[in-house]
Amino acid sequence: MSRIHRGLTVTVKIAEEQIDAASLLLEQLNRELRESKSIYQKEIPSVLFLSWLVLPTQVYAGEERLPARILLMTSYVGNHKNHLRELARCFSTKMQQVFSLSDEFPADANVDLVAFLRKKSIPNTFYAGFKFVATQDIDQEAQLKEEVFNHLTNRSRAVDLASRSPSEMKQLIEDFVKDHPKLQWARQGIPGVRWDRIRMLFPLGLFVLLMSSSLISLILRFFMDGMVLDILVWFFPVFVAAMLILFLLLRLNELNPHIPGTAASDERVRDIVTRETNPVINEMTVIAPLKKGWIRRVFLAVSLRLVFLIRYFSYIPTVHTARWLQTDNGKRLVFIATFDNISEAYAHDFVDSERRTMNMAVIFSHAFGFPATRWLVHKQYNHRSEYMKGVRAHQQITQCWYAYNEGLSVENLKNNRAFREGLFKEMKDDEIREWLLRI
């Protein structure tokens, strides 16, 4: 089974008069998910996170009214078709109740929900903070560490473990795992991870190969002729020229007077914050119309595709998953993240770092209500306060949110995986000491 994390986003328009009815249905489902979480964990094992919300109407460029929408967003692992079947089977009744409030839902009583989800899904740029871990791995690796910790605790009462060498401690742990009937899976490697890495890197590799081949063709073109060279020679210069033109057009757009957004009311902020009650992992959804100008929509679309290429190398210690996408002909930016801590601290993780602030500006500077920029990343005024104002102004209430794991941070998951990978592996004493600290 593939352990690559992916994001599914399904959206339909909804009439404003149906917003309250849809919100009520999703709030009911949210309570069911919390009250019967163990049941749903078995019913939808591919789902890491699920957010289902109603988005009210928003105004683009001060004049165009963007429609209200229902958004279903999942972070999942494994086969795409199997994931759609799981959702359709588990949420069949609720999907028909919620999505039937939209005119885009088929009137057929025997509607094919899998086909509907596939048809109404839109592409997104998806990021996973801890890659190649399935829901089964989360449980098993947590159990492994707990069993080993309990075993060592019990042994320490009878034997002075502090006098043991690192290699002796490792051997003691490995002997325990070998003899434990419920931990035999830990003796095996993690299947398919190497192939998953290759698949994640393939789009970037293809892009680099194309650009490098074009550069080489530019040189070879001076010495030889050929149809292949004639074609390849254009890719790199066209890409560079297109990016330069986009930057110049964006700079012209940036010269327009900056229109500041309206700050969210204290009551609205309190309503959002009171929902962030989980002790470890919480969710944030920010949806905003873009600033005026077609170049904003095009530049953001190109940026998201380039971010997709390098997603394998990205790492933010507190973020489990994040996604960016555009809706309504590119006029609206959708951002959703699941993270450790609460949204205020999470957002500050970005604005308190100069490098991260610049990275976020590449995407969020195009959204209305966020700070103005010069050449995309240079600040023109207090970036920190204006960024937080933009986040709060466009942060949406997620009526239904589900997390397979709510108690383990990204670092917890990372340590659990590193401990599993270290079992039955040759190590030096210094490496073993570091490995033992992960228990």
pLDDT digits (tens, 9 = 90+) for 120-150: 999 999 999 988 999 999 999 999 999 999 9
The more confidently predicted of residues 223 and 205 is 205
Nearest Cα residue to 29 out of 54, 6, 7, 11: 54
Q: Given this model, what pLDDT does residue 274 score?
A: 85
To the nearest whole number, what is the mean pLDDT of the chain? 91
pLDDT of residue 342: 77
Both tokens assigned to 278: 């989980």
> Any idea which of 35-39, 173-177, 286-290, 358-362 has the lowest mean pLDDT?
358-362
Q: Strand order of the sheet with strand 5-13?
A: 5-13, 69-77, 47-55, 400-403
The average pLDDT across 197-213 equals 96
Q: Output phi, psi for 11, to 5 deg.
A: -145, 145
Predicted local distance difference test score (pLDDT) of residue 430? 93
CA distances from 336 to 191, 216, 322, 424 (A): 30, 40, 6, 39
pLDDT at residue number 130: 87
- The DSSP call for residue 275 is T
Q: What pLDDT is recorded for position 345?
A: 73
User: Looking at residue 352, what is its pLDDT?
Assistant: 65
pLDDT grade for 307, boundaries at 50, 70 and 90 = very high
Contacts 24+ apart (CB under 8 A), 31-34: 33/400, 33/402
pLDDT at 276: 81
Mean pLDDT of 112-116: 96
Beta strands in 61-183 (DSSP E): 64-66, 69-77, 125-128
Which among 173, 196, 73 has a CA at the least distance from the CA of 435?
173
382: pLDDT strictly greater than 60: no
| Average pLDDT, integer, range 49-57 | 97
Average pLDDT over residues 168-173: 92
Amino acid type, 42: K
User: What integer pLDDT is reported at residue 380 of this predicted model?
Assistant: 58
pLDDT at 379: 66
Residue 317 pLDDT exceeds 70: yes
Buried b (16+ CB within 10 A) or exposed e, 344-367: eebbebbbeeeeebbbbbbbbbbb
Q: What pLDDT does residue 351 have?
A: 66
The number of residues in the chain equals 439
Compute the average pLDDT of residues 310-338. Answer: 93
Q: How confident is the model at residue 163 (pLDDT cuts 50, 70, 90)?
A: confident
Q: Tokens 């502090």 belong to which residue?
A: 162
- Residue 109: is its pLDDT beyond 90? no
pTM of the model: 0.93
111-115, 161-165, 226-230 — most confident range: 111-115
Please report which confidence band the pLDDT of residue 353 belongs to, taking 50, 70 and 90 as the band edges.
low
Report whether 326 contacts 304 (CB < 8 A): yes
pLDDT band with cut points at 50, 70 and 90 for residue 334: very high
First to last CA, the chain: 27
Q: Which two tokens stand for residue 233?
A: 């020679």
Q: How far apart are CA 222 and CA 236, in angstroms?
A: 16
Q: Give 383's pLDDT tier (boundaries 50, 70, 90).
A: low
Q: Calculate mean pLDDT across residues 294-305.
A: 97
The answer to whether 290 and 60 are in contact (CB under 8 A) is yes
Of 126, 117, 137, which is closest to residue 1 (Cα–Cα)?
A: 137
* pLDDT value at 439 more than 60: yes
Instruction: For 296-320, give the secondary structure using H, E and C.
Output: HHHHHHHHHHHHHHCHHHCCCCCEE
DSSP letters spanning 178-201: HH-GGGGGGGS--TTHHHHHHHHH
Report CA-CA distances (Å) from 89 to 83, 264, 371, 392: 10, 39, 44, 36
Residue 54 confidence (pLDDT): 98
Contact 290, 384 (CB under 8 A): no
Instruction: Tell me what the mean pLDDT of segment 282-308 comes to.
Output: 96
Angle at which helix 354-364 crosses helix 343-351, to 10 degrees, equals 100
Distance (Å, whole) CA 432 – CA 422 = 8
pLDDT, position 83: 97
Task: Say whether pLDDT at 356 is over 80.
Answer: no
Residue 137: partners with Cβ closer than 8 Å, 6 or more residues away = 3, 190, 417
Percent of the chain with pLDDT over 70: 95
- Categorize the per-residue pLDDT at 161 as very low, low, confident or very high, splitting at 50, 70 and 90: confident
Structure tokens at 187: 């003796």
pLDDT of residue 126: 96
What is the pLDDT averaged over residues 285-298? 97
At residue 220, the pLDDT reads 86
By percentage, how much of the chain surpasses pLDDT 90?
Answer: 72
What is the pLDDT confidence band of residue 226, given thresholds at 50, 70 and 90?
confident
Q: Are 13 and 71 in contact (CB under 8 A)?
A: no
